[in-house]
Structure 1
């Protein structure tokens, strides 16, 4: 090659389908005026034969080798010709391909080279490392004057720029390398259809004496024919797929047109029905007029009967007419009632049709509030799933605690062979991404490639850990248990009242009830199908009860889960909160204790003092929830939640010091605005499901932002809903912390923080310094 300054060299292999992506990238992104296709062949060992002479074998080998090489290289030249780029080919034989490439760079003074970084199957998003040992060798040993682009899957993975005044660390090439002509000269050709300047046949195509014959040549010809046929079949398959995609697109268009035609036809039918109704109303008015006329006639006939009592025959005729008129009136009334019934039925069908269309449209456009994370981000955050990050493991998978995008999260990674499969994973994603409730775990993002759910991290573990005193955690107080039960009931009511379809948790148990910093509970793990699939072929009631003690026993008969199934599971959890016992046989034990008036013997002493009347009332309510007959279980809204709320209001807010813990109270994270990091006075819920101070979130929205301050996901709307529950909780804690000091509350969340979390002496000192306008308050406080 003479014009090396403008020539782009592209290193390719024998697999055209694999290497053509590298060549296409060079043609599309570097826009060269001239391209040279570079190929290094690794020779294979040949067998000896004594039937033919050395000369005849060599002639056969040269002819066969040229055809194979020409066919491969001409495929690459054909690609260049289709792009209207001048192309040539350069071939060398060497035991090591990477050393051959480096030797060609040095001998041909190659300035620009494009080659593969790894096989396409190793390509991944964000890939920057060289996976191929050949690419790594060339990167390390190529002369510094050569600029190299490394490509994988048609994407630029790595680029080595020119090194000024650098020295190549490449040693002399191995003695086993040889060029086509056998005299250390490179054979090249700029003709895209032939390689006539190759000179003598390369050594890698030479057979040993007597190794080639007509049968070998025929086999190679047949192999070439099969390869051409495979290429043709591949093109035909691609054409069939394009046609199939086109047909699918046309089918979608036709379906849309059919839906449009159906909608237009429905409007037309509705107009026709309305016209028919108007006509029927007119007929009804006419019938009414006829009825009035008939009544007038009847009255006239009565007068005639009184005045003409002597004319009995005429009176009979009038009576007959009156009877006929009354019958006609009754017929008209029946027709009117039938018309009204048809009218109501038609209106109901129209409303049902409109409702279905609106539901379909809302389902299509429903926005999901979560992010998608790459596999690389998950691996970086967990340091390739280091065991030190693992906080839990079960049959479904493992849970890791880490920081993603500066946010502390819990990553739930499902095992590929776990009970919970892709359908269950997608179902849990759909539920968590479309629902927002203070007592449902918040889904931050997903990684579909490895079946990973990224949820908010809740530091106090699960309710199951607390009930079993795992890792010597302090027990929950009676006050805390009542609040947890009330919040679980609130979350279930929210799920069961979802529109357009009610949601059944189906897997409610203490291990799936997580606790935040302030011991507020949040439900998780909505993938229920793994439970169902494991019970399909099971008929042993005892084994199922032991393996799934929280599962509704009616499910074994009906094979369906209903909201009443969650009520049964909630009843078992409520009994555990009261007694602290494991779920197995807890219903029978508690029932015997209640019947024998020995409930005091079963109450959990670690919960502290509690009202026996309240405990007995909750126990009887929990036993009703666990009734084997679904129809006898209580309603969550009108019965269960009403009782729990009454008891919660009676015992008051959560105590300032948690049962079994000696730490002073800290402000709950939910009290602070995510934007200002201050305690909220007027909390409002935004479209992303998070609660903000009203003044701060309005300032955020008025500043031109249309994304969530916490997740950076676009907001579906700008509506703000007051969070009365959180505001009441803040006020309750303020009143419980120091009732006399609430008289001094003024706007400003820092002042409330002082009132809540500093000793009374410091608070009084703060007010004195504020009145005297002394700037030494902080020094005095220290």
Structure 2
């Protein structure tokens, strides 16, 4: 285990620097910029430090401080003006992106089984951040990636700034394109190198000074090595030429060297650093692995050559060249240091080549092994292919047999399909004929029964005041009995009432649509403008809410159910196809209750048929003159004359408020708003309705106030928002009603067959004008030619289906269950 810490940093993005730090093992750091140069730095660090022992990577990423936050519009807001939670979220997102960027490089280190640790530093000054981290953790070695300019070049790039600012105890390595570019040693390494150079210099000087005492064999070896020196001088011509030149040239070189030393006075550390830079850049072309031994031979030759020249110079003039030998010795020591560094580099390259050769041999063995396995698999595949061919031939035979059988079955299916089409065509033809026959019997475009004026006059006792039920804006309603069935007759005021728009509108709408909560039209007298409806035993909703005629109060759960029934009927009218129907006159007096308190909307004389299907999302409305009842008319409709389904929603909201309070509509919405704001809703409710549930009642009141907003676009949608809430409240009210004692529902008398004395299954009108159950009247007509009610002879035995009554019976049965 080797102590100390090492850092690798690549300078590609000034705001992105990473450092790997550890205090117990060799630490390799990698700076990430997202380019291929990052991988070069990582691989150099792995090749450099992993073979030397255990390593540990500590990644330190220096990113700029967050001062602004981007907005969706593309601009930036200072972080001080942003909410704390938004700033924290943006910082967390930035950290996550940085971690995501570092992940691939952590995985690359994990492949080489190197442990890593990531440290993120937030600072705008990369140099100070790195130097601070080095000082904090006593990092002794720093390896950084080189930029386009040299680390120590003028201009001051980030690499040079880091190298200059790094503490003196830290060694700075600069890597460029996967190779060592330069080194700035620490103080400890500089002192150690200076000592080594001083020792070598002393040893060399000692050897030169005792040259006369050398043995003859040593001088022989030196002379013999001159051939090796000549070979080496071909590769380093500059150095050999300077040493083999004339004494005058050598004297001039030494003078120049002494002059440079006197001016610059840099120590042997600087020389070593410069040689390291040159060796790393030109190591590949300087020597090969086969020339390692020549290095020592060249060194010996240089020494022998220097000694010979010194001897000759001493014979010429000992007094002039006394200092020449010492200067030559310094130059030779410098060259020896250079050769030592080059030799060390060559040894590393040789070790790397051996490692790569071993890896290549191992890969070759693996490839041979895989080739053998692939050969075995190929043989197995050939055998499987032959078996598959045999299986395919057998399956082909099976397929041909199956195809013949399928063709036969197809022919059978086509014959059956043809027979089926013929039967369907025959049934369709019979159904069309049946429809034609029924239409011929009905003889009218609308499904309603025509009554004679004398018959209506007789049934109402010449419109007796005792039979008058009520009077409206467009007509008077009388109770009567037609064909032994209780009914309500509405007679319009105008003499030409049968031509009025209200009469034709109501006749058209009620004769062609059916809904459980719309009043059933039994018939009409078009000549006099009379409409005959089913009789509603409990009158209208306004009478029950205001307790007219001493009628009992409606329980709260019945009111919840009535609200849902009215909303479902309105939704049915608004979604009518192909044209929507808007009621325009919804109010409690137009909501009738039968004997079971089932509500039905009546008086659709003011209804408007909109040409455009508003429910599909269209924004076009029918322009018309305002009509309806005060306090229930949509304020927007009054102001603009534009009618829409939201007009009925406004009136429906007023009806709900009256269901809750049993109060007149004037100022009712304002009263309920104050009650909800002051938390006095229960005091504003109708106390005769029983004990109101607080939470559901408040929910219904809030919904009603939303329906009475002044602008139509502020009101809730009937299908999407109102009906789901009312359905939930109706189910809640139904559960509450089930817990209370109930009584059996009594069917209306109009549903009772005169023969069976029970509810009819298939009502039909006989020739006498009475309605019977089809099975009962058919059995009667088999043995009798007279009416079971009048005992008079029947003109014929044809039966006309009463679809209107059948629909009412089915609705009643569905409500019963």
TM-score when scaled to structure 2? Answer: 0.37
Q: If you compute each CA radius of gyration, which structure gives the higher value, 1 or 2?
A: 2
Relative contact order (C-alpha < 8 Å, sep 6+): which is higher? 1
TM-score when scaled to structure 1? Answer: 0.39
